[in-house]
Structure 1
């Protein structure tokens, strides 16, 4: 009898220890299967260091992640840690879906990250995520298509006007497309390239004045829309996921110039090695002076409703620590978000490959890139409206002046709310 009681007590103790284990759910964005081993390795290391914590990892396709997060949050069953990007972070922070990490992590931890990147994740004085990894845009271009168009591959375009000119020449001479700008993904880009900000900001980083209903903005929009209507730009430019289509076109040698993150060098090497051998890389033409144009980066965010937010934040900091960031950067051509990481020799070593050239170019640019924080209420609705206006002009449904004036009026009304 005593032996039976002892066994029962032991079983109860074991059950108690098992029940005490903290579970953290972790959602990433489109990292499986390519990076399954790497991410699982990080999880295994963390669980070994914290045997009382179990990480449940789920990878979610990028195109459904936002909807799935909203559904899980609304149902009261959100992930503890979710992988977003800088613009989605601000959207969800405004909606009250995320927790500020400066309430969960020490200042010493936060000070390790680039200051400007943390500012880019700030909303109403709080920081709503940790920068995880970043990309730096460059121009990949096909030297053979340049030659067929009568262009010297040694002289890639150095301004956005030259990008347009090269695109017309390439289409006329080869039948290939020259470039495919991200009209849908970033509706402010074409204006920034012409030195035009959409608005001015007050001392609190809030919109002070809407600018894009002025004639010069209509001129810029008309310039790009005219090229589209004349067939110099791919028809898919007005569709969601146009960046993915531009990659496909470049790899099939139907697009001469691809403006994208440096990590594309690895992708084209894997998917189309013959195109990789024909490719060269050049810096993206800078916007004109005075224009705010920040970069892009992936984030790790703590979701409101997490039962263990401090543990979740600690795990997010571990995933994005120095060792793991440098290891990730050596696995794929991305860039770190920690200040110290750029001191690693990996970011200055030139082995003569296109990938190394792109990496060195990106590391130099990253040190000078500007990330800005803007507190814009209803940001998603505002930019969705601008996207729709731009698309309507490209499709010939509205003229540039009318589309931009209607959108500016909508913005002013929304900002007043």
Structure 2
């Protein structure tokens, strides 16, 4: 989901069938760019050597339209055996009753050390359906040369207060301290979680938007302070214009992005090669990194899949420690367990992600959250506050819109 490495599908078709020589054909759907072709080949070879009775057949799926395709597969009699899904999509599929329940396998899979931002959205109604696959999250990508010129030491930016002070020092002499668009709501969500709040909470059998809570209001106030230390637009997000292009084209000291964005910055401005660094988004205290939205994927098994035992074996291997370490290094991902963070120590961007991932979160775990994102009143709220409207009034309005979307979505 986060990389741009192409893959070649090893097979087509989603149904289960017997392979030649009495082997079990295990049909697997993985998403475009989740793994490289080299890693895919290495894993298949290693897995089939250990389990010669299984013939792994991987079909690469496109993210566009995947929701409808997975929903149809779960309702059919010809579903694949294993499917990769976005971590926040699991509840949507589990609600239908179409997924295999792995609650009894959590301990066997090392679930006590799973990243919370992958494990929690992989559960629904108290049962575990999604098995954490890989994660990625936002960090601070910064210009080493601009920091050095301003006398700012990135290693000392360990709290929000120090971050604000450093950014204020950087925001002078034609340099933007930070480029932070006004509608980067994933960043705001992290600040909300830092303050002990959430975007919505479950209450009385339903869900209620909570952007008007004291915690969420404190988070928006901090976002406003940080955003003012640059020239980010109040009425657009990080994709309009692409913030990597903005950083490449001007004197921007920092952006908040996944480390892969640094590659895009250098592509647009080769002169910045070797001049970009990373550090975790700071938290309120030096001992705890800032909360982040954990993006990534879980692996699920359709309840109607023909080869349940083989599917579990595949998942157990791919999400096990040995292959997780290899995947993290190959793709600059965060492994699925907090105990494996050291596996990416040699990759500065991934190492910064791994620190933040320990305090990772996901959006409210309801199948109806997609209805909120469709219209996204959070973005409208942020722009309203940044353009001078009353935060409490606008937060209450946005909270009502979130509640309405969660109550009324199908």
TM-score (norm 1): 0.70
Root-mean-square deviation (CA), in Å? 4.7
Among candidates 337, 358, 368, match of residue 378 of structure 1: 368
Paired positions, count: 386
- Kept in 1, the 8 Å contact 2:294–2:362? The answer is no
Q: Is the partner of 1:174 in helix, strand or coil?
A: coil
Among candidates 247, 250, 260, match of residue 250 of structure 1: 247
- Kept in 2, the 8 Å contact 1:72–1:78? The answer is yes
Instruction: Specify the structure having the higher radius of gyration (Cα).
Output: 1
Among candidates 9, 26, 29, match of residue 28 of structure 2: 26
| Cα-to-partner distance string for 1:314-336 (whole Å, 9 max, x where unaligned) | 21222222221111222243232
* Residue of structure 2 equivalent to 1:43: 44
**Residue 84 (structure 1) aligned with residue 81 (structure 2):** no
- Kept in 1, the 8 Å contact 2:132–2:297? The answer is yes
* Residue of structure 1 equivalent to 2:3: none
Unaligned runs of 5+ in 2: 1-16
- Kept in 2, the 8 Å contact 1:187–1:386? The answer is no
- Kept in 2, the 8 Å contact 1:25–1:55? The answer is yes
Q: Is the partner of 1:109 in helix, strand or coil?
A: coil
Q: Structure 1 residues 94, 31: CA separation in 2 closer, same or farther (over 3 Å shift)? A: same
Q: Structure 1 residues 299, 411: CA separation in 2 closer, same or farther (over 3 Å shift)? A: same
| Cα-to-partner distance string for 1:91-140 (whole Å, 9 max, x where unaligned) | 4333545332336x474234475274534421112112111222354312
* Residue of structure 2 equivalent to 1:315: 314
* Residue of structure 1 equivalent to 2:9: none
**Residue 369 (structure 1) aligned with residue 359 (structure 2):** yes
- Kept in 1, the 8 Å contact 2:176–2:253? The answer is yes
Structure 1: distance between partners of 2:270 and 2:162: 28
Q: Structure 1 residues 307, 272: CA separation in 2 closer, same or farther (over 3 Å shift)? A: farther
Q: How much has 1:233 moved relative to structure 2?
A: 0.8
Q: How does 1:224-243 map to 2 (within 5 A)?
A: 232-234=231-233, 237-238=236-237, 241=239
Greater mean alpha carbon deviation, residues 259-268 or residues 314-323 = 259-268
Point out the structure with the larger helix share: 1
* Residue of structure 2 equivalent to 1:408: 399
Q: Structure 1 residues 177, 39: CA separation in 2 closer, same or farther (over 3 Å shift)? A: farther
Structure 1: distance between partners of 2:284 and 2:92: 25
Structure 2: distance between partners of 1:389 and 1:93: 31
- Kept in 2, the 8 Å contact 1:179–1:257? The answer is yes
Q: Is the partner of 1:173 in helix, strand or coil?
A: coil
Q: How does 1:36-115 map to 2 (within 5 A)?
A: 36-70=37-71, 72-73=73-74, 78-102=79-103, 105=105, 107-111=107-111, 113-114=113-114
Q: Structure 1 residues 54, 371: CA separation in 2 closer, same or farther (over 3 Å shift)? A: same
* Residue of structure 2 equivalent to 1:139: 140
Q: How much has 1:158 moved relative to structure 2?
A: 4.9
Unaligned runs of 5+ in 1: 1-14
Greater mean alpha carbon deviation, residues 46-55 or residues 208-217 = 208-217
* Residue of structure 2 equivalent to 1:6: none
